[in-house]
Amino acid sequence: MSDGRCVLNVLKEPGASRFIKSLNPDNAIPNVKRAIALAESQDVKKRILPFHQPRNVSRGCHFSYAIPERRPHYRTLLKSVQTHRDMDLKMDEKLEKLLGGEEVYYNESQGLFPYSMAYAGFQFGSFAGQLGDGRVVNLFEVQDSKSTWQTVQLKGSGLTPFSRFADGKAVLRSSIRELIISEALYHIGVPSSRALQLTLLPKTRASRERMFEPCAVLCRVAPTWLRIGNFDLFRFRPHLKGLLGLTHFAINEVFDGGKDFPRYRDFNVFRKDFFPNDGVQQSPEARNPVEGSTIYDEFYRHVINLNAKGVAYCQAYGFMNGVLNTDNTSIMGLSLDYGPFNIMDQLKPDFTPNHDDITGRYSFENQPSAIWWNLIMLAHDLSVLIGAGPNHIDKILSMEELSEELPAEVEKEVVNRANDFIALAGNEYKFTFLSEYANLMGKRIGIDLGFSSKLINPEEIAAQSSKVQDFLSNILEPLLNVLQATEVDYNHFFVKLQNYRGPIFGNDDEEGLSKGFLSIFFYPSQIEQLQAYKSGKVDFNADSGGVRIVMDTAEDIFQWAKKYAKFVPDERKRSEIAKEVNPLFIPRAWMFDEVIDDFMLNQRTELHDPESKIDNSLLRKLFIMSSNPYDPSRWEESVRPDVQQRWVNLEHEGIREKYLKQASCSS
């Protein structure tokens, strides 16, 4: 494999500025020529207005030209070799300086200049007005080694027009967390943005909860950074041309002209709710079939299906974003914008990782409904397009403004179609989410359910829905109830089950289960309680309840195991299926804390000194393990061997004191 392409050569290729060539800039800086003139007319050591002036941008714009603020010092802490390789970029000094914000690339003839996106959003259910990239600058777009377009951006690069009352900075601790979790999720298989480089900013500080904290710039990439909030902006400030421009860009550039849109399946099959009692927020009831289809219908359906699959992965692996506002919800279903996230150490469905989420709106169990609520907001943003349908779309496209009045009868038809469309979309979302979730969870316990994501006729969809419901009701839900009762480590349980080679049933306990199999579900102390009761050392009637709960749970496991054994008679095949989806390592909140404290407590003085020697071995170790979750042979045992065993050993009970810690939104 080559060392990768030189970034300067890549930027000469067509497409590096697809976003700004297709969409509208803020009127304050109307074109690349003006942006370059402003950049070159100022003292390069300051890089000031109007790039860094928070303001309300012009109606109908999609972005504002912006450049990183100049910092006193830059110091690369870590580069992702794998992400560079996947991007097919050579890790040279020029690229390193661009990815840290130390240098800026622009070119008038190519129409290329950095920018920050404009968007709005609903935050905790309330509309928040103009938001936008408040500390993010998008550098350019490049095709990766698989010819997929990726947008490269800097987070924490300083003030932008969208900074509002903030400072445009990102502190080191939150940057470390995002660096690691984004790569960890991606390599596990969860749709996610990725990280290229982490750059420390010596002598740059930000005022946060921990007073003045060291800052950093994280360079991250994604196929698109468009989120529902980008569309919310055009409901907040109605502008039909702007909405159409954004939608057409998403269809043509992000989704390659809609080649994967769900045209293969009649939408009206979802007039029926195949999962009426699933617990996901209910859709309104469709009154009529939706006649015909347009590219805008297909676009919206594609977005809901991608998000349904994305949240299914999050639920399967116990990942909690913590802030699933519409401005944090990707149109591609990617996990992005990492703040107070957490991994479900123990299964507690009502847990929220966000200290400020006092109502539990974004708790683990509420994530699927939260995403669907956001998708309803997107439907409202697009309502005039999806409501128009084939009968009226030409009329809508010919309008200059959304404020133009439609004939009363046409308006009624548009409203009714939009409402019926949203109802059907909700049923399709649930079908996709639950099918994908059941499929993943089945594989995690060694069962390949063989579900298809491209079923066409109602009979096939009904049959698969029935199988999904049967699996969820009879296998998965009883298992999750057991895990919630025993409080064993959620993700580690699946690895232990995968690696178990002994018998499920035996004669060494009264429940008919082998001791080895029971040990997958219980902590050693709970196994001791079972043995103590069996030997008569515990008075069951006098017990305060602990042993009784363990005994009842053991009986639940026995009943579950009888059903499970019928699904997986072949132990070898069970293990082969499971090992493909069960990561052997997932970074946890307490591990992040260890790495952050290593910098913040042990090397605080060094972080401030651009000439000091900094030890990043603990950070590097966690990054390496997180980037290779299925392959321990790539964990580089020579790097901090003292922590590797401790990070993978999740057996000792004292570790539970570190589980399920909340974080704030501050970053």
Q: What is the DSSP letter of 212?
A: E
Q: What are the tokens at 562?
A: 């009888």
CA distances 57 to 49, 127, 241, 311, Å, are 14, 18, 16, 32
**Reduced to 3 states, what is the DSSP secondary structure of residue 82?**
helix
Dist. CA 122–CA 379, nearest whole Å: 14
- Tokens coding 601: 């407590």
Q: Is 327 a residue of the active site?
A: yes
Residues 327, 345, 357, 556: which is the catalytic one?
327
With helix as H, strand as E and coil as C, how does 323-357 read?
Answer: CCCHHHCECCCCECCCCCCEECCECCCCCCCECCC
Residue 278 CA to residue 618 CA, distance in Å, equals 43
SS3 content of the chain, % helix, strand, coil (to 5): 45, 10, 40
Whose CA is closest to 372, among 256, 290, 278, 247?
Answer: 278
Two structure tokens written together for 465: 């829905």
Q: Do residues 163 and 135 make contact, with C-beta atoms less than 8 angstroms apart?
A: yes
With a CB cutoff of 8 Å and minimum separation 6, the contacts of 498 are 446, 574, 575, 578, 579, 582
Degrees, nearest 5: CA angle 23-41-45: 100
Nearest partner of 139 among 170, 166, 116, judged by Cα: 116
Q: Which residues are catalytic?
A: 327
